[in-house]
Chain A
Amino acid sequence: MLAFIIRRLVQSIGVLLAVAFIAFAMFRFVGDPVNQIVSIEASAEERAQIRESLGLNDPFVVQFARYVGRAAKLDFGISYQFRQPVTKLLGERMPATLELAFVSAVFALVVGIPMGVYTALRRDSWLAKLFQAVSLVGVSLPTFLIGILLIYVFAVTLGWLPSFGRGEVVRLGDWWTTGFLTTSGLRALILPSITLGLFQMTLIMRLVRAEMLEVLRTDYIKFARARGLTRRAINFGHALKNTLVPVITITGLQLGSIIAFAIITETVFQWPGMGVLFLQAVQNVDIPIMAAYLLLIAFLFVVINLAVDLLYAVVDPRLKVTVRAA
C-alpha cells in the first residue's frame, strides 16, 4: 500500500512540474515582464537594470527553478492589472468558489444517485423515462444557458431568489468568508449551485443507472433474492453499495472540472470567485494570474486524485489485497 501511494505521489509531482513548466513558459515568454513593470518612458539602461534585478538574464533552468521555488511558497508574482500579489487576489476569492463547488457537488450526488437508482429499478415507468429525457437535455444545454434560464424563471419572473452575488457573508478567521451562515447567503447559493451541478448530476444519474443494471444481473443478487431478503435490503444494501466505486471516481474527477466550469457560472451570476478573476485575466492578458490559476487547478486535481485512490482502498477491500500482492 505504501509503495502504491509513493508511486502515485511521484506521478503527481511529475504532472505538477509539467504544468508549472507551461505556466512558467507563459509567464516568461508571453508579453515581456519588464514592460509590465516600467513606465513607457523608461530608458534602455533602466530596463536592463530591472531585467538583471528580476533575474531574467539567468539561464532558463535557473529561472524555472526559481519560479517553482516561489510557487511552492505561494508567491506567484504581482498581477499586471491590479498591482497586487496574485496570492492575495486568489485567496480573497477562493472561499466563494470553493463553497459554490462544494454545494454543487453535494447537490449532484444527493439528487443524482437516487434518480439513478430509481431509473434502474423502475426502468419502464414514465417518471424514469422523464428523468432520462431530462438528463439528455442536461448534457446538451450549455451551462450558461441553464443559468440564464434559471435566472429568468426564478429571479426575474417569480422573484423568489437573488440573481447575482453571494448575499451577506460572514468572516471566519483571517481570510475565509462564508455564505453558509446567513439566510441571504444560502438563498444566493441555490441558483448558481444548481446551474453548476446539473451537468454532474446527469452524469452521476446515468452512471448509477448503468452500474445498477449491471449489478442487478449478477449471481450474488439472485442469491440474495433466493435467500428471501427484502427488496430494500437487496437494492440498497447489496446492489447500490457495489455501484459506489465508479461513482466515487467520477465525482472525484469531476470536482476539478466543477471548479473550472465555475468560471462560466460565476460570470452568469456575478459570483465574486476565482473564475471571474481568471476570466478578467484572460481578457486583459494578466499572465501571472492565468499561470497561478492553472497551477492551482492542477494542484487541486492532483490532490483529489490521490484522495480518490486512497478512498478506493477503503471502499473496495479487493483492491487492498491486490495492491498488497503487487
Chain B
Amino acid sequence: MPYVTQEEAKASPPTVATPAPGWFARVMDHDLMASFLASRVTVLAALVTLALAVLALFAPLIAPYNPFDPAEVFLIDSLNPPRWLPAGDARFLLGTDDQGRDLFSAILYGLRVSLIIGVLGVLMAAAIGITLGLVAGYVGGRVDAVIMRIADVQLTFPAILIALLVDGVVHALLKGASREDTAFGVLVFSIGLSFWVQYARTIRGSTLVEKNKDYIQAARLVGLPPIVIMARHVLPNVIGPVLVILTINLGLAVITEATLSFLGVGLPPTQPSLGTLIRIGNDYLFSGEWWIVAFPGLTLAALVLAVNLLGDWLRDALNPKLR
C-alpha cells in the first residue's frame, strides 16, 4: 500500500467510479500470464502450437489440393521434388509423393488427423482415468484394490506396447470391418487404454484427501447418492492437476499414433496421418526422394516439441513448490 496523505486521499476520486477490469485485463494480470510472457521459449512454443492447430483445423481451406480426390491427383505428377529445387514443379510447394499427391496438402490433412486422434485419445484416457480414480478413491476397499492393482500391472508395460496389443486385439475382434473404417476409432481407443493410469492415480490421491472433509460429510448427511457426490462435489476439487497431465500426454499421444501408423498398424495410406506419410516416405529414402519423409517428419517433430515445451512450462508454473 503506497503512503497516501489525507489531502491526496480527499482529492482522489471515489473507488466506485473505476470500472471492473474486463476479462482481457484480468487474464493479462494473472500470475500465470506473467510467468508465460517471461519465458520466450514458451511463447514461441505456444505460437507454433497455435499455428499448427489453425493449419490443421482449416486444412480443407488452406490446402491447394485435395489429396483424397482422385480427380485432382495424377500419377504423372509423382515424386516431384520441392519447388525451389531445379527439377521442382511450381505447382507443388513441397513436392509430391509416390502417388502424385501434393505433399504440402497431404501434410496439412495428415496434421489434422494426427491432432484429432491425439486430442481424442488423451480425452478418452482422461475420462477413463478420472472415472476409475474417483471410484477407487471414494468407494475404497476391494474396488480400490482391484483398480489400483490393474493400474500397477499396466504400468509395468510401456504405453506403446499396450497400444500395439489393443490395436491387434480390437482388429481381430472386428474381423468383418475393413481396416479403413475402423482404424480411426481403434487408434483413439488404444491411446485411451494406454494412458489412463496416470490420471487415475492422481485423482485417487486427491479424492482420498477430499473424502474426509466436512463438506463431503455434509453432502452425505443430506442423503445425496454417492454418484452425485463424486461428480458434483469431489470432482471439481480434484480436477486441477489433470490439465497438466493432459498437456504433457498430448505430445505422447501424438507420438504413439504416429508410431503405430509408421509401423503399419495405424491409419492406412488412404487416410494418412503424419506417421503414415513418414512410413510411405521411408520407402523412398534410398532412391534419393528425401522430401517425402523430411517434411512430414519436421512437422511432427515441431508439433511434439512445441506441445512438450508448453506442458513443461505449465507443470512448473502450477507447481507451488517452484513459485
Contacts and interface: CB of A to CB of B under 8 A. Distances in A.
Contact of A283 (B264, B282, B285, B300): B264
Interface string B252-286: 00010011001111000000000000100010011
A179 interface: no
Interface string B146-184: 000100110011101100110111011101000000000
Given A152-B285, A263-B164, A283-B265, A145 B278 contact: yes
Interface stretch (A81-89, A117-125, A208-216, A294-302): A294-302
A144 interface: yes
Contact of A148 (B153, B175, B282): B282
Contacts of B251: 140
A282 B156 contact: no
A151 B285 CA distance: 9
Contact of A285 (B160, B171, B278, B304): B171
A260 B161 contact: yes
A255 to B, nearest CB: 11
Interface in A9-36: 15, 18-19, 26, 30-31
A140 B278 CA distance: 16
A165 B158 CA distance: 25
Contact of B308 (A140, A148, A264, A279): A140
Nearest to A23: B165
Interface in B173-201: 173, 175
Given A148-B293, A279-B265, A142 B300 contact: yes
Contacts, number: 107
A294 B165 contact: yes
B305 interface: yes
B3 to A, nearest CB: 40
Given A156-B286, A256-B156, A257-B158, A142 B167 contact: no
Nearest to A279: B263
A30 B165 CA distance: 12
Interface residues of B, number: 38
A282 B168 contact: yes
A278 to B, nearest CB: 8
B301 interface: yes
A116 B160 CA distance: 27
B164 A282 contact: yes
A267 B212 CA distance: 51
Contacts of A260: 157-158, 160-161
B74 interface: no
Interface string A278-309: 11011101010010001001100110000000
Given A30-B173, A285-B172, A144 B262 contact: yes
21 contacts: A30-B173, A136-B308, A136-B309, A137-B301, A140-B305, A142-B255, A144-B259, A145-B297, A148-B278, A148-B282, A156-B285, A163-B286, A256-B156, A256-B157, A260-B157, A260-B160, A263-B263, A279-B265, A282-B167, A287-B172, A298-B157
Given A144-B262, A290-B168, A297-B161, 11 more contacts: A26-B165, A30-B169, A139-B308, A143-B259, A148-B278, A260-B157, A261-B158, A278-B164, A283-B264, A283-B265, A285-B171
